[in-house]
Amino acid sequence: MIALEYVYSQKESYDRIYWIGAANESTIFSAFQEIAIKTQWVHHNAHLAPKELVSVVLKQLSKQKNWLLVFDNLDEFEVADTYFPDVAPDKHMLITTRNPNCYQIPAEGLEITVLEVDDATDLLLTRSNVSPNPRTQEEASLIVRELGCLPLAIEQAAGYIRETLKDIFKYLSSYRKSHKLHHQLKSKANRNYYEDSIATTWNLSFTQLSTDAADLLKLLPFLNPDGVLVDFLDAGKDGLTQNLREVVDDSDRYFAVLSELERFLLIKRQDDAAGGQLVIIHRLVQSVVKDAMTEKSFSDISANFTLFATSAWSFPCCGWKVSRSGLYP
């Protein structure tokens, strides 16, 4: 969403802006083909191999004086490293990725986290075309707190207020009535560049997870999103499914799974003041994971969680309290 905001705010600075979905090589080829046809650099009936078509587009870009090229969701850098154009003072490339291991990219990285409440409130009011005053600012603050100050969620909430409700004071009741529906909504105004809903964005990540990571992710929505100790998960391993018990019992395998979830920005790890390590998961990620579960899967995991919590009872009090505060009805 930050990339999208940059595109909107700086669109007058560029002669042309090109948006490439870079989730895999297929989507990259498809985007280059669309660019080639819309710019008429190749005829729509031309029969070119994908890499030949990319070569044509890159050659034409080298002749242009001014452009912005966005590679969106480039999580596997080796997929696109031969498809980058040469940049120059007026030719810019912007890359978005969920992969924190981005050191090989020859660019300055900027980590995008959740917004501060005041910034999130300003973004919601601006993007929803709502005039700021004490009442609307107070309501907007309640909304962004409900959404965990996540830029993508705020952008799509703003789109729903702007395009459907026409009233910011109706949003919270609508969201609380059916958050699953809201997570699947798309903003019409963003379709020129970014079409995915909140649910789609994270479900794309879910489908790429290993079995071990997917199994652990299904447990995390039942824990405190603000942080649960890694050692607490280990303390409750006897109440886990056989596969998860084997994962947690093997420290190398366990930390590899945590690293995988972190690479897709589904969790975040940070040091705890007591010397341990905390696993943090955003509330909206928890919600989308739960929404994706079948009724049977949800019931089975809930039952397993009861066993897990019972097994972890002997863990030091602070860890148990962290867990209990994360229980949801």
**pLDDT number for residue 102:** 66
pTM for the structure as a whole: 0.56
pLDDT value for 181: 79
How far apart CA 151 and CA 115 sit, in angstroms, is 7
Q: How many CB atoms lie within 10 A of CB 241?
A: 16
What tokens were used for 305?
């969680």
d(Cα 94, Cα 194) in Å, to the nearest integer?
14
In the CATH hierarchy, which fold is given to the domain comprising 210-324?
Arc Repressor Mutant, subunit A (1.10.10)
| pLDDT the model gives residue 315 | 53
pLDDT at position 322:
33
Q: Report pLDDT for 35.
A: 93
Counting beta carbons within 10 angstroms of the beta carbon of residue 60, is it exposed (0 to 12), middle (13 to 18) or buried (19 or more)?
middle
Cβ neighbours for 103, distance < 8 A, ≥ 6 positions apart: none
Sheet holding 268-271, edge to edge: 228-229, 277-280, 268-271
Per-residue model confidence (pLDDT) at position 323: 34
Distance from C-alpha of 28 to C-alpha of 95, rounded to nearest angstrom: 13
Give the per-residue pLDDT at 103.
66
Taking 3-state DSSP, the helix, strand and coil percentages for the chain, each rounded to the nearest 5, stand at 55, 10, 35
Helix H or strand E encompassing 160? helix 151-160
d(CA 66, CA 77) in angstroms, rounded, equals 25
Mean pLDDT by 10 residues, the chain (329 residues): 75 92 90 92 84 93 93 84 89 83 68 83 92 96 90 83 91 87 67 57 75 89 80 78 88 91 84 82 83 80 69 49 35
Query: CA angle, 81 as apex, 80 and 82 as ends, to 5°?
Result: 90
What was the pLDDT predicted at 148? 85
Q: What is the dihedral of CA 238, 239, 244, 249, to 10 degrees?
A: -20
